[in-house]
Structure 1
């Protein structure tokens, strides 16, 4: 896996193996004491505390979790189980003073004490501490046991090649993966609590991991116009490498993200704002320096091939044989040609690499991570009002991607993406012989509804519902009718390997972890059915007809409605002005007559 947590697991496996094979290593140990004994993991951090009132706020757990102890010790007053009576110096029942005749504290009933313990145990901060200390310790022991089995069970892999089945450590089964994008390092990030509660084994960054460029003020008029048809100055300007590095450090030190990094393997790619400049492609001059900064942020090993290649694309394989998940992370920035060029998104070297990856060893599931949307092409239906970056802006490249998946006969493939500041799930049925899903989770802090005053949120949702799309998955389980979500969100993947057939659940979750849109299906549905459905000219078929092929009245209905509304508003204003002028002239005429 290449991360600190994984190296720790390997280290403990090695310790377990040494403990098994090193007999008699305990010096003066008695008979049998040194044989097959597994060494205890070394403890380096212990925390302790006392006096925690279960009814009081307990923010201190965050600091304890950040300390990352292997053991936590309670030293008493773990809850306050007795009842404190009111302070009374005078009266019938005096609980204080020289004339005290009644106890200040009285014991609670066993049932009440039990309820107080349960309240203390369910405190979110304490729950996370228990999860991180107990789970990590049991995980270490589990891997030690796996390592021991791998040492003593020779030839257990059946048809494995020479040396393959000897001492091989089994990969843990991955059942939960979280992903997200668009996290402004200067904004509050409470969403990490929900991600930690989801308890993912892997977290995937899909770009805009920090906002490294600088956004200039909105100016429609003046000397430097950053917006509109007369724009003569860029809206975004790149930051210096030193400033970008400081923003990465700020993001990395976020308490919530720090807790996630201690319990979860983090991998990722980039998008435009952490690449260095909004909407930038291969022409951006700071990409070489910024690549190093991203890889430092991701704790990429210094000898990693990603530090030597042009671009940050990479792949990972998780899980044991038969339950393997391959994650392919694309770089849609380093080699991308300019927008509107219909050129290349990945560049020749990355295309060659991707073909090799898809032709490589099979896996039950293949997740392709793209910083921009692959299936949805909202720009086809929102222009000329505004446009979004996506693979749909490069139709030849997208067709090449779909064809490559089909030609390599890779099954179990779906996409995850970010960038657009809202969440949705798209599906395309006419590419590979089975449905291709694209789960978009954007963003962790940046979201379209947060960009407008709260009173306009309903307008944003109405526009989302009105915008035509042929690819979006519409379900009764969606939070809103449009099945898009414009508040902070993250993506969640759950795989149930215990069922037959294996089931997948793909969801977009809100800031507290509740699903706002999602799909659940069996892995069998992502297996080729042989033939690829086709669409006749002029035919409209959901999840098959591309947005660019919609009838123009449907495709441009958002723009038509907007311009009609603006025209109606202008006519109404002209009418009101005309009516006011007439009324004023009548008033003057009446004054003259009087």
Structure 2
């Protein structure tokens, strides 16, 4: 295979800015975007270009009811020995959800700034994760479902404008062994699975809040409490999921299920507690999500999120036709504080900033879920029980 240098690739990217009437080469397609220009090169990369996770367990059988699910996000693969991962490995559960920032592959800055269209740092981060003994222990014990967030997408807070998103998707799907499943056949990393017999069906919907997302609205008061990075916008052109994923989600919400976990890498319910990334930064999209749940008559929805480097529990009585609950489990080993004063109108109790992971217990007889934030030693430090029927 002839090697294509980064300089040549960047020349192609620059050419994408040329007027449409000036093709790059005669009889060759004129790409409409940077990621489209890179696509032929990315398709030529060999399989050994991609890091792979250790072999994992098959997902639970479709007819098996789930009773316990673990959740984690924000794992710095370069930090030695995670107490949280060791505690996760000591738990009993049917499934483990890694829901974003599963590696930090952009510590050196965005790849497009550092002339890395091959996403060298991101691939190295995944390789480091694969080599961790604590990750291997978790991988060997639990079937896993995964979502990504910005740091395992390739650039902090990035959305659809990330020029190397198509390669980032390939890296994600190949690392987690998803390339030959439905999610590997279409753009984006969203997918869903349902487990359990009628009356005990748990549907898990893994959203992709990166690949299709338009830009957020920057704050006008950087760092101010409640407006730290972004502010809500009424721009009707802003989009969180993209048309295809929105249509797919509408269909999935009509699938038979008794309990539905909608996994979003960024928070769904909070509205006024902070100004970082969240659905509240696109309030029209947030309301669109709620409206879709109502219109599809989807029962038993519980939101699951990460990203925030603090564990939170939320309850909103107005968002859905029934009380809506959310658990934010973050982070496995990237904690920034011991306490927090953050309080959102939907928040249940204080946040928990030290290292943590989440647990979701399902009581089919009572029709309830227990949402737990657990410390890195496995102690339950925050808990709420919610009815789902």
CA distance in 1, matches of 2:167, 2:62: 37
- Alignment-derived partner of residue 84 in structure 2: 191
CA distance in 2, matches of 1:170, 1:331: 23
Offset at residue 447 of structure 1 (A): 1.6
- Alignment-derived partner of residue 473 in structure 1: 348
- Alignment-derived partner of residue 329 in structure 2: 441
Gap change, CA 1:197 and 1:350, over 3 Å in 2 = same
What pairs up with 1:387-406 in 2 under 5 angstroms? Answer: 387-406=275-294
CA distance in 2, matches of 1:210, 1:292: 15
Gap change, CA 1:238 and 1:258, over 3 Å in 2 = farther
Determine which of 310, 318, 321 is the counterpart of 2:195: 318
What pairs up with 1:486-565 in 2 under 5 angstroms? Answer: 486-497=353-364, 499=365, 501-524=366-389
Determine which of 185, 207, 222 is the counterpart of 1:330: 207
Given that 1:214 and 1:237 are in contact with CA atoms closer than 8 Å, whether structure 2 keeps it comes out as no
Higher-Rg member (1/2): 1
1:491 counterpart SS class: strand
- Alignment-derived partner of residue 66 in structure 1: none
- Alignment-derived partner of residue 182 in structure 2: 305
Given that 2:316 and 2:325 are in contact with CA atoms closer than 8 Å, whether structure 1 keeps it comes out as yes
What pairs up with 1:276-287 in 2 under 5 angstroms? Answer: 276-287=154-165
For structure 1, which runs of at least 5 residues remain unmatched after alignment?
10-168, 217-232, 450-456, 475-482, 525-594
Determine which of 304, 321, 341 is the counterpart of 1:416: 304
CA distance in 1, matches of 2:212, 2:183: 15
Determine which of 298, 314, 317 is the counterpart of 1:429: 317
CA distance in 2, matches of 1:238, 1:335: 23
Larger RCO of the pair (alpha carbons < 8 Å, separation 6+): 2
Output one character per residue of 1:29-49: Cα deviation in whole Å (capped at 9) or x when no partner: xxxxxxxxxxxxxxxxxxxxx
What pairs up with 1:253-292 in 2 under 5 angstroms? Answer: 253-292=131-170
- Alignment-derived partner of residue 140 in structure 1: none
Determine which of 64, 68, 76 is the counterpart of 1:172: 64
Number of residue equivalences: 315
Output one character per residue of 1:101-148: Cα deviation in whole Å (capped at 9) or x when no partner: xxxxxxxxxxxxxxxxxxxxxxxxxxxxxxxxxxxxxxxxxxxxxxxx
Do residues 370 (structure 1) and 370 (structure 2) align? no
Which deviates more, 255-264 or 510-519? 255-264
2:124 counterpart SS class: helix
1:5 counterpart SS class: coil
Output one character per residue of 1:475-512: Cα deviation in whole Å (capped at 9) or x when no partner: xxxxxxxx101111111001123x3x233211111101
TM-score (norm 2): 0.76
Output one character per residue of 1:205-251: Cα deviation in whole Å (capped at 9) or x when no partner: 111110011246xxxxxxxxxxxxxxxx99x8685423322211211
Gap change, CA 1:287 and 1:322, over 3 Å in 2 = same
Determine which of 359, 362, 365 is the counterpart of 2:254: 359
- Alignment-derived partner of residue 220 in structure 2: none
> 4+ runs of 1 displaced by more than 2 Å?
3-7, 169-173, 236-243, 521-524
2:253 counterpart SS class: helix
CA distance in 2, matches of 1:313, 1:170: 19
Pairwise CA RMSD of aligned residues?
A: 2.3
- Alignment-derived partner of residue 574 in structure 1: none
Gap change, CA 1:238 and 1:407, over 3 Å in 2 = farther
Offset at residue 394 of structure 1 (A): 0.2
CA distance in 2, matches of 1:258, 1:4: 9
TM-score (norm 1): 0.51
Given that 2:195 and 2:203 are in contact with CA atoms closer than 8 Å, whether structure 1 keeps it comes out as yes
Offset at residue 296 of structure 1 (A): 1.8
Offset at residue 253 of structure 1 (A): 2.2
CA distance in 2, matches of 1:406, 1:523: 15
CA distance in 1, matches of 2:281, 2:311: 19
For structure 2, which runs of at least 5 residues remain unmatched after alignment?
1-54, 218-232
Given that 2:159 and 2:211 are in contact with CA atoms closer than 8 Å, whether structure 1 keeps it comes out as yes
CA distance in 2, matches of 1:503, 1:251: 35
What pairs up with 1:45-124 in 2 under 5 angstroms? Answer: none
Given that 2:66 and 2:196 are in contact with CA atoms closer than 8 Å, whether structure 1 keeps it comes out as yes
